[in-house]
DNA sequence: ACCTGAACACCGTTCAAGT
DNA sequence: ACCTGAACACCGTTCAAGT
């Protein structure tokens, strides 16, 4: 971290990693303005490059936003993983994971909206946008928890029942995403505390999974 | 429907109902282009007015999009109501309502994304956007079903337990919205049929509500 | 391979008029 | 009260150069 002018330090006029810098700048703008109506030129300005430089790394503004959403999903996935890393019991892990998920969304509302908004929509060309792959990656964390619960007998689904697990993953994510969205949008009475919501959600979430 | 030139037919040069026409034009554009990146000028063009006319009815493009989202919520509410109008049993009504909800979203994916996207975000000024009121209105349909089920003893919540009902409404909507979003975004295996998803969702949805 | 500057068509929004 | 046309600053994207 000194001021040694090693080979690695010398930025060769067009610095190595603009793509990454642009995504970071866009992430910051989403957080600051709480929407994604900023211009591509503004992103370039923040990154300290000409307004055409982004076109060397992205097809256009939409493409950059998809990359931002993908970065969001990766960050979300890391939070989920971090939340469960020290937890053994599958039901406790699912609860912790859900809590981390909701927390992430509440801390980055606009980013979360972008992630599930236009960034996931099918591209006109046909092939699915990158954000969807990153989203599927986040989904994998849930799948692992479900599988663990199936193996340990904590959840009412067999370790061999792949479709049943897929179902469980699907409905777990549905419940978490649904609660998150409604919390984000303030669609509840004022006396409806966040903590109650999470507790109730956990009950709903586990009801269909735990054996009676 | 004749060609009589009655007083009602004569459009007085600046026709009566531009606000409504603009919303319809924008709705059509959302459906056609499956996003809301079209320009406000394009909407005006479709409506056959100058590109400034919209400013007599909306604060700007964002404001128009909020009105479009509000119209979407009203339409959704009508579909939900239509689906349950001839059904007595509360659990059957909840199922039918959920099915109509999902169907609406699948038929208008971009509109649904817009409704839960930036249109609901808190306005910078502070007061909540119109779309949120329309959304709360749609929520009322669910509240009525829950109350009916509570009264008839079909759901495991007391007719006097207002917070409990609010909870039930919240989690019903969460489940429906979550499933809808993930279906919309193709976040499931290819062999995961829509019908199975709906059946499973109904089970999840009712599990927490029906007495054991 | 990556970046720049000039250029083009288009957009959101404002304002002074029109009816 | 509602609509129009001109005007302004700004944007997305393209293209011919630069290094």
Q: Inform me whether the pLDDT recorded for B58 exceeds 60.
A: yes
Token couple for B146 = 């829950």
Q: Inform me whether the pLDDT recorded for A174 exceeds 50.
A: yes
Higher local confidence (pLDDT), A19 or B158: A19
Average pLDDT on A192-205 reads 59
What is the structure's pLDDT at A6? 31
What is the structure's pLDDT at A16? 75
Q: How confident is the model at residue A9 (pLDDT cuts 50, 70, 90)?
A: very low
CA distance A182 to B168: 13
Taking Cα atoms as reference points, which of B96, B92, B109 lies closest to residue B176?
B96
Residue A49, Cβ neighbours under 10 Å: how many?
Answer: 18
Q: What is the pLDDT of residues B81-114, one digit of tens each?
A: 999 999 999 988 988 999 899 999 999 999 999 9
Residue B183, Cβ neighbours under 10 Å: how many?
Answer: 21
CA distance A24 to A5: 25
Top-confidence range, A115-119, B70-74, B98-102, B123-127: B70-74
User: Where does residue A138 fall: left (phi above 0), alpha (psi -120 to 50 degrees), or beta otherwise?
Assistant: alpha
Does residue A170 contact residue A205 with C-beta atoms inside 8 Å?
A: no
Higher local confidence (pLDDT), B157 or B78: B78
CA distance B69 to B116: 8
Taking Cα atoms as reference points, which of B106, B203, B155, B171 lies closest to residue A168?
B203
Kindly give the interhelix angle for A194-207 and B162-184, rounded to the nearest 10 degrees: 60
Per-residue burial over B69-81, b if 16 or more Cβ lie within 10 Å, else e, is bbbbbebbbebbe
CA distance B131 to B66: 6
Phi, psi (degrees; rounded to nearest 5) at A165: -70, -40
Q: Inform me whether the pLDDT recorded for A55 exceeds 70.
A: yes
The alpha carbons of chain B give a radius of gyration, in whole angstroms, of 20
| Whether B182 and A166 lie within 8 Å, measured CB to CB | no
CA distance B186 to A120: 9
- Tracing tokens 């969702």 back to the chain, one arrives at B201
Residue of B nearest to A121 (CA): B185
Query: Could you tell me the distance in Å between the CA of residue A54 and the C1' of nucleotide C9?
Result: 20
Q: Which of B60, B142, B171 should one mutate to test binding to chain A, selecting the residue with the greatest count of A CBs within 10 A? A: B171
Percentage of the residues of chain B whose pLDDT score is greater than 90:
56
Q: What is the pLDDT of residues B26-36, one digit of tens each?
A: 999 999 999 99
Asked whether residue B50, judged by its CB, lies under 7 Å from any atom of the DNA or RNA strand D, the reply is yes
Half-sphere exposure of B133 (CA within 13 A, CB side): 7
Average pLDDT value for chain A: 84
What is the structure's pLDDT at B125? 59
Residue of B nearest to A191 (CA): B163
Taking contacts as CB-CB distances below 8 angstroms, the residues of chain B near A189 are 166
Residue B148, Cβ neighbours under 10 Å: how many?
Answer: 20
> CA A57, A61, A67, A70: dihedral to nearest 10 degrees?
-170
For the whole model, what pTM was predicted? Answer: 0.89
CA distance A16 to B9: 66
């Amino acid at each position: 971290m000194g001021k040694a002018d090693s080979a690695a330090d010398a930025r060769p006029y067009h610095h190595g990693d603009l793509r990454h810098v642009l995504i970071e700048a866009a992430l910051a703008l989403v957080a600051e303005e709480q929407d994604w109506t900023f211009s591509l030129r503004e992103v370039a300005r923040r990154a300290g490059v000409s307004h055409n430089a982004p076109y060397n790394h992205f097809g256009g503004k939409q493409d950059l936003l998809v990359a931002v959403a993908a970065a969001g999903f990766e960050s979300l996935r890391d939070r989920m993983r971090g939340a469960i890393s020290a937890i053994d019991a599958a039901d406790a892990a699912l609860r912790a994971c859900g809590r981390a998920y909701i927390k992430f969304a509440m801390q980055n509302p606009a980013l979360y909206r972008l992630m599930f908004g236009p960034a996931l929509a099918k591209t006109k060309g046909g092939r699915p946008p990158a954000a969807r792959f990153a989203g599927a990656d986040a989904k994998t964390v849930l799948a692992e928890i479900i599988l663990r619960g199936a193996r340990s007998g904590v959840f009412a689904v067999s370790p061999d029942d792949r479709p049943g697990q897929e179902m469980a993953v699907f409905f777990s994510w549905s419940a978490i995403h649904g609660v998150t969205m409604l919390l984000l949008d303030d669609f509840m009475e004022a006396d409806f505390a966040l903590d109650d919501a999470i507790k109730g959600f956990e009950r709903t979430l586990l009801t269909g999974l735990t054996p009676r």
